[in-house]
Amino acid sequence: FIGLGLSSAIVYRCEEPQKTISTALIIAVVGGLFLSFFSFLSSSFVSSFFHEPTLGLMIRWISPILIFDSISTILYAGLVKELHFKRKAFVDISAIVLYSVVVLVLAVHGFGAWSLIIAYIIPASIAISAVKSAGRTVFIIIAYIIPAE
């Protein structure tokens, strides 16, 4: 839903790949901002509908994930288009490992449902920024625009 089919268009389209990715990234960011804003504003309604006061706060905290996910969806499509599967695998595996460690540590320390939310926010924000390139970690946006040799 977040990618709006743009990731498939990036992989498919052959002409002007940088322009396609830039346009898709702008559309995805605007869509992610809209969805994040909408979920943030509707959090109190959802909380009152389910008669769960902490649910509104949890939705407000997790709503920025929609922005991160929209950006990462487009950037991942760029990696797939250029057949950089090792980079994509590195980012995916790193995010999963980090998520697992954070959620387990927080759950053991009694954070309850908040451990899932906090553990999801951290890898989601890191997943769009970390990628293995030439033996060092660089920003995925820079690594995509300036491919590693």
Answering whether pTM is above 0.75, one says no
Q: What is the pLDDT of residues 56-102, one digit of tens each?
A: 999 998 888 888 777 777 777 777 777 767 777 777 787 788 888 88
Please tell me the predicted confidence (pLDDT) of residue 136.
Answer: 38
Give the number of other Cβ atoms within 10 Å of residue 125's Cβ. 17
- State the Cα–Cα distance between residues 111 and 96, nearest whole angstrom: 19
- Residue 78: which of 148, 133, 149, 12 has the closest Cα? 12
Q: How confident is the model at residue 39 (pLDDT cuts 50, 70, 90)?
A: very high
- pLDDT attached to residue 86: 78
